[in-house]
Structure 1
C-alpha cells in the first residue's frame, strides 16, 4: 500500500470515528434545556456542514493527480482541522451544559 493510500485510509477512519462521536453527542443533547437545545441544534448544523466538506475532501484525495496531491491534501487538512476544532468546542460546551442541568 502506498503512502498516499495509507493517508487516505487513515483520513477516512478518522472521519468515520468523528461521525460516530457526533452521533453520540447528538443523542446526549436530548436532556438539555430549551435554550441549550436551540444552540446545540445550530452547532450540530455547522458540524454536519463541516462533515460534508471533509467527506468531499476525502473524495478529492482519491481522485487527485500526483501534481495536485499536495494542494488537495492541504485542503483536506484545513477542513479537518476546522471540523476537529468545532467538534472539540461542542464537546466542551455540552459537557458543561449537561453538568449545569
Structure 2
C-alpha cells in the first residue's frame, strides 16, 4: 500500500468516525429542550459543512496524480484539524 493509499484510508476512517459522532450529537439535539435545540442545530449544521469540506479535500487527494497529493495533503491537514476541533468543542457543549 502506498503512502497516499494509507493516508486516504486514514482520512476515510476518520470521516466515518466523525459521521458517527455527528449522528450521536443529532440524537442529543432531538432530546434537548426547544431553546437549546436551535443552538445545537446550528452547531450540527456547521459540523456537517466542515465534514463536506473534508470530503472534498479527500476527493481531491484521491484524484491527484503522482506526487501532487503531497501538496494537497498540507491543505487537507488543516481542514481535518478544523473539523476535529469543532467536533471536540461540540461534544463538550452537548455534554454540559
Indicate the TM-score class for this superposition, using the shorter chain for normalisation.
over 0.9
**Corresponding residue of 1:54:** 54
1:33 equivalent in structure 2: 33
Give the Cα–Cα distance (whole angstroms) in 1 for the partners of residues 34 and 89 of structure 2: 20
TM-score (norm 2): 0.93
What's 1:16 paired with? 16
Give the CA deviation at 1:70: 2.3
SS in 1 for 2:17: helix
Q: Deviations over 1:52-71 (max 9, x none)?
A: 00001110110123342222
Could you list the runs of 5+ residues in structure 2 that have no partner in the other structure?
none
Moved over 4 A (4+): none
> Could you say what the CA RMSD is over the residues aligned between the two structures, in angstroms?
1.1
**Structure 1 length-normalised TM:** 0.89
Which position in structure 1 is the counterpart of 2:82? Answer: 82
1:5 matched to 2:5? The reply is yes
- Whole-Å separation in 1 of the counterparts to 2:60 and 2:29: 33
Contact map agreement 2:25 2:44 (CA 8 A) in 1: no
